[in-house]
């Protein structure tokens, strides 16, 4: 097993929102997709998924409906709200700015800035 990084604080919410943004999904599917997309590099703690979902729901970033799955079982499907969409865009943008800035610093040659 390769060493996995812990998820930086606050990024779990961002990832969940990104996944939910692709269409209504239930909790298990989100867990699956989290694992797939992060290619087992990032350790998404399973235990914090549901509290995070409920927190986002209470903040009005997600809403949820009970629907039948393809297999005919009832599950709670999450959707991104309008407010959630705005929040996702804002956080994505700021995340990208941050990573660019960090990689810029990390890529500096030892001699420093010319």
Interacting span for another protein (CB under 8 A) from 1-9, 69-77, 79-87, 98-106: 69-77
Q: Closest distance between another protein and the C-beta of residue 5, in Å?
A: 19
For 47, left (φ over 0), alpha (ψ -120 to 50), or beta? alpha
Supply the angle between the helices 46-58 and 27-37 in degrees, to the nearest 10: 120
Report the alpha-carbon distance of residue 15 to residue 43 in Å, rounded. Answer: 12
54 binds another protein (CB under 8 A): yes
DSSP state of 8: P
Nearest CB to another protein, comparing residues 21 and 29: 29
Contact set with another protein (CB under 8 A): 26-28, 31, 45-48, 50-52, 54-55, 58, 66, 73-76
């Amino acid at each position: 097993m390769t060493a996995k990084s812990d998820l930086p604080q606050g990024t779990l919410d961002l990832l969940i929102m990104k996944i939910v943004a692709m269409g209504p999904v239930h909790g298990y599917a989100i867990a699956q997709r989290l694992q797939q997309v992060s290619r087992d590099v990032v350790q998404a703690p399973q235990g914090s998924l549901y509290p995070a979902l409920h927190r986002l729901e209470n903040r009005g970033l997600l809403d949820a409906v009970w629907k039948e799955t393809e297999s005919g079982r009832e599950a709670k499907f999450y959707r991104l709200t309008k407010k959630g969409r705005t929040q996702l865009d804002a956080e994505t943008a700021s995340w990208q700015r941050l990573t660019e800035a960090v990689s810029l610093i990390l890529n500096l040659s030892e001699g420093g800035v010319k």
